[in-house]
Amino acid sequence: MAGPITVFSARKIITMDAAIEEATHVAVRDGIVIELGDLDDCAAWGPYTLDDRFGSGVLMPGLIESHAHLLDGLLWAKAEYVGPVDRHDPSGKLRSGINTVPGLVQRLKELEAGLKDPSQPLVGWGVDPSLNDPIAPITRHDLDQVSSTRPIFLLHASCHIAYVNSATLTLANYAAVKAPGVTRDSSGEPTGELLELAAMMAAIKATAADMIGGSTDAAQFYNFAKVAQARGATTIVDGGGSTYFDPAFLKAALVATGAPDFPARIVAHHNGITVPTAEEMIRFAASLEGKGNDKLIFQGIKILLDGSNQGFTGRLRPPGYLASGANGLWNRGPEELKTLVPALHNAGLQVVAHCNADQAAELFIEAVATAQAKNPRFDHRHFIVHGQLLDESLMRRMAALGIHVTLFSNHLYYWGEFHRAHTFGAFRAGAMNPASTALRLGLVAAAHSDTPVSPVDPLLTLWCAANRVTAAGRVLGPRERVSAHDALRMMTFNAAYLLHRDHEIGSIRVGKRADFAVLAEDPLAIDPMGLRDIEVQGTIVGGRVFGAGA
């Protein structure tokens, strides 16, 4: 039996579908769009309820965050955000960045005053002294002003650095921890800065042990979806590394996402990161077949080829990193990748390849070429994640082999100046994340935040692709800017295509899911520099309305 019909009205409906690009009313039944046009067109389907709460808003296909990590949701659940970058929290509230050390100390004092149990550690996340103004290190002396007795642990936005106070250093016996990443002052005393996990381990164990080792906390799923939902996303990717093949973790994920009030769809990649061999990856992926639900879908297997550019661990072609000429780290050996990629390809899986710099991308393209030569597959939709230094030659080979891409456009804004000054130099910083060329060559290109690396905010991400402006206001590679329409398409239809879901989501069309974002302004009518500031009034997922910050 068909359910009741709801007709949503809007000032304008942007469909992102070539047949009919605009409408004012959309009729929804059983979570599916059944008509699109004006109210009369919708009325042809019989009795309906008119929902005009968004009548003055602009409806568009729900935005799709094509690469993010569930860790974001765990951090919101377990720690206080105290970073320098503005970030929306799971309630949709904007948390203004704190970009001075005295400001940070002040905020931590407020948080400290709210803690009752004197032994409960104060755990924060998101700090990044390189984005502070002025740039100043965070030391235990600063944090000791907050408390000399309560352990404090602050995680850097990159998750590769931590800052702790003297109480934590004592509690975790840092006098005896010999890891070289424990930064020490001239007298040999730890400064409170801990570089890399090896140095952070004892402090994490002492203050935040529940943040590592496969948490099954339901709040992580809710927070992950809510933060994205508040900024217009109806689908968000959990980009590999999570252990859905672990029954306890899967159960927690299914229970959380199965609730009717779960506010977004999660598309989870299979784990090709912490699972060591191709055989196990294929086995685990097969074990999850048919195991999802309406809001948890498994698609693609994620593998890592290199590290991160801002961490100097991406694999670059010559001339390497600026000034030093150094190169980054392979996550798996090139020989191994040359057999792993064909093995996954032959197993019928879609390969999602983290390639931050261009040598990693080149190797992946060669591996796919080998796989395709032996066992040609059509419509495999393998894609590269990040692809920050792709050039026209690499992308032409990708087009020929059917490889697509989701670009890390947020880097242009957050780290554009850093890359120009420290990692790539002027030319390569200007050539980063070349969305315009990718689209011109026929690649299906999307863009992403990689949260928690940068804040998940699809409107900000499409703003980055459209404007390519750094935090200092410089435009990097103006020719690679895309139109607002193309930017919107990257974050909707193209992302849906990469996830093998474009038949269901990514545009508003009869027969597709009723997944919409509601904006206060028309993104196609305003100055593209205003895209990031558009207010999100809510989302609709499968016909169900989620208010802003629901």
Partner 1 sequence: MDCLPVTVPVTILGGYLGAGKTTLLNRLLADVQGVRLTVLVNDFGEVNIDASLIANRDGETISLANGCVCCSIGDNLGLTLYDLAERPDGPEHILIEASGVADPARIAGYAGCHPRLCLDGIVVLADAETVQARAGDRYVGDVVRQQLAAADLIVLSRTDLLDASATRSVRDWIEAEMPGARVQEASAMSRLAQLLLAGGGGTMDMPSSSSSSSSSGKHDSLFAAWRLASALPLDGAALRRALAALPPAVLRAKGIVSLAEAPGRRFVLQLVGRRWSLEPEVRSDGSALAGPSEVVAIGLAGQLDMDQLEALFAPTLPAGLPRAVAVLLRQEDRA
For Zn ion, the closer CB: 68 or 363: 68
Q: Is 478 in the site for partner 1 (CB under 8 A)?
A: no
Please report how close the Cβ of residue 231 comes to Zn ion at its closest, in angstroms.
18
Using alpha carbons only, what angle is made at residue 451 by residues 447 and 452, rounded to the nearest 5 degrees? 160
* Residue that has been written with the tokens 């697509």 in this structure: 404
Please report how close the Cβ of residue 402 comes to partner 1 at its closest, in angstroms.
23
Map the footprint of partner 1 across residues 410-429, applying CB under 8 A. Answer: none
For partner 1, the closer CB: 274 or 375: 274
Q: Work out what residue 527 binds among Zn ion, partner 1, none; the CB cut-off runs from 5 to 8 Å by kind.
A: none
310 CB-contact burial (10 Å; exposed 0-12 / middle 13-18 / buried 19+): buried
For partner 1, the closer CB: 31 or 334: 334
For Zn ion, the closer CB: 273 or 505: 273
Please report how close the Cβ of residue 220 comes to partner 1 at its closest, in angstroms.
17
User: Which stretch in 25-33, 68-76, 272-280, 505-513 sits in contact with partner 1 by CB under 8 A?
Assistant: 272-280
Please report how close the Cβ of residue 261 comes to Zn ion at its closest, in angstroms.
27
3-state secondary structure of 417: helix
The span from the CA of 2 to the CA of 30, in Å, is: 7
Q: Is 168 in the site for partner 1 (CB under 8 A)?
A: no
* Number of helices (H), then strands (E), in the chain: 19, 24
The span from the CA of 202 to the CA of 26, in Å, is: 55
Supply the Cα-derived Rg of the chain in whole angstroms.
Answer: 23
* Residue that has been written with the tokens 């999802």 in this structure: 292
Please report how close the Cβ of residue 266 comes to partner 1 at its closest, in angstroms.
21
For partner 1, the closer CB: 116 or 178: 178
The span from the CA of 103 to the CA of 109, in Å, is: 10
Going by C-beta distance under 8 Å and a sequence separation of 6 or more, which residues neighbour residue 544?
A: 31, 260
Tally the C-alpha atoms within 13 A of residue 319's C-alpha that lie toward its C-beta: 9
Please report how close the Cβ of residue 384 comes to partner 1 at its closest, in angstroms.
17
Please report how close the Cβ of residue 168 comes to partner 1 at its closest, in angstroms.
14
Among 63, 199, 228, 531, binds partner 1 (CB under 8 A): 199
| CA 446 to each of CA 57, 64, 262, 387, 506: distance values in angstroms, whole numbers, following the listed order | 25, 9, 25, 11, 11
Q: Work out what residue 450 binds among Zn ion, partner 1, none; the CB cut-off runs from 5 to 8 Å by kind.
A: Zn ion
Q: Is 335 in the site for partner 1 (CB under 8 A)?
A: yes
The count of chain residues that interact with partner 1, using the rule CB under 8 A, is 36
The span from the CA of 300 to the CA of 243, in Å, is: 14
Among 56, 277, 324, 393, binds partner 1 (CB under 8 A): 277
Going by C-beta distance under 8 Å and a sequence separation of 6 or more, which residues neighbour residue 317?
A: 357, 358, 359, 362, 389
Among 30, 38, 336, 533, binds partner 1 (CB under 8 A): 336
Q: Is 50 in the site for partner 1 (CB under 8 A)?
A: no
φ/ψ of residue 103, rounded to 5: -65, -40
Binding stretches for Zn ion (CB under 5 A): 239, 450
Terminal Cα distance for the chain, rounded: 30
Map the footprint of partner 1 across residues 135-154, applying CB under 8 A. Answer: none
Q: Dihedral angle at the C-alpha atoms of 71, 74, 78, 84, nearest 10 degrees?
A: 50
Please report how close the Cβ of residue 236 comes to Zn ion at its closest, in angstroms.
13
Q: Is 17 in the site for partner 1 (CB under 8 A)?
A: no
Closest residue to Zn ion in the complex (CB): 450
Do the beta carbons of residue 440 and residue 398 sit within 8 Å? no
The span from the CA of 417 to the CA of 435, in Å, is: 19
Map the footprint of partner 1 across residues 281-320, applying CB under 8 A. Answer: 315
User: Which residue from 439, 456, 443, 435 is spatially nearest to 235, judged by alpha carbons?
Assistant: 456
Among 20, 94, 115, 212, binds partner 1 (CB under 8 A): 212
Please report how close the Cβ of residue 369 comes to Zn ion at its closest, in angstroms.
24
Q: Is 329 in the site for partner 1 (CB under 8 A)?
A: yes
**Which DSSP category does 154 fall into?**
E
The span from the CA of 147 to the CA of 121, in Å, is: 10
Map the footprint of partner 1 across residues 357-376, applying CB under 8 A. Answer: 359, 363
Q: Is 276 in the site for partner 1 (CB under 8 A)?
A: yes
* Tokens, residue 344: 């996954």
Please report how close the Cβ of residue 385 comes to Zn ion at its closest, in angstroms.
6
How many C-beta atoms lie closer than 10 Å to residue 251's C-beta? 11
For partner 1, the closer CB: 177 or 520: 177
For Zn ion, the closer CB: 239 or 434: 239
Please report how close the Cβ of residue 69 comes to partner 1 at its closest, in angstroms.
14
* Tokens, residue 394: 């690499």
User: Which stretch in 194-202, 223-231, 257-265, 410-418 sits in contact with partner 1 by CB under 8 A?
Assistant: 194-202
| CA 63 to each of CA 368, 459, 476: distance values in angstroms, whole numbers, following the listed order | 29, 8, 25
Please report how close the Cβ of residue 503 comes to partner 1 at its closest, in angstroms.
34
Map the footprint of partner 1 across residues 169-188, applying CB under 8 A. Answer: 173, 175-182
φ/ψ of residue 541, rounded to 5: -120, 115
Which residues form the interface with partner 1 (CB under 8 A)? 173, 175-182, 196-202, 205, 212-213, 273-274, 276-277, 315, 326-327, 329-336, 359, 363
